[in-house]
Amino acid sequence: MPKFESNIEIRAPPKKIWEVLENITLASKLNITITDRIENESLSLKVNHPDFNGYGYILKEKGDMTELSYWVDYKILKHEKIKKRSLTTILNGLKNFIEHLEDGGDPDEYIAK
């Protein structure tokens, strides 16, 4: 099964990123099961979905930044470039939103960039 991963550095501590990831996971409409959870470090999820088996995040503190890795375990290898690009798009969205919060922004007033 193909597994794709992408990374990004976010100007926020792991705890702030973790809070956002947990809120997203709890609000998800996917049928998910948490398979691994180490607070502020990693989160792995099994998903009942026709296209992929699961996904997860790994957080590594790097000074004032946190490296966030996002991986997805797909069931089939199709449209590889689109799938890889979608990981980057998701991470960029998370980065922009979390840095908006870190700068004191209101989550309800966030405008996706």
**pLDDT tens-place string over residues 68-94:** 999 988 887 766 676 777 888 889 999
Residue 78 · residue 2 · CB < 8 Å: no
User: What's the pLDDT at 113?
Assistant: 66
* C-alpha span between 61 and 16 (Å, rounded): 12
Average pLDDT over residues 29-36: 85
1-29 pLDDT, tens digit each: 678 889 999 999 999 999 999 888 777 77
3-state secondary structure of 48: coil
Report the distance separating Cα 25 and Cα 50, nearest Å.
Answer: 18
* Domains assigned to the chain: 3-109 (3.30.530.20)
| Assessment of whether the complete model's pTM goes beyond 0.75 | yes
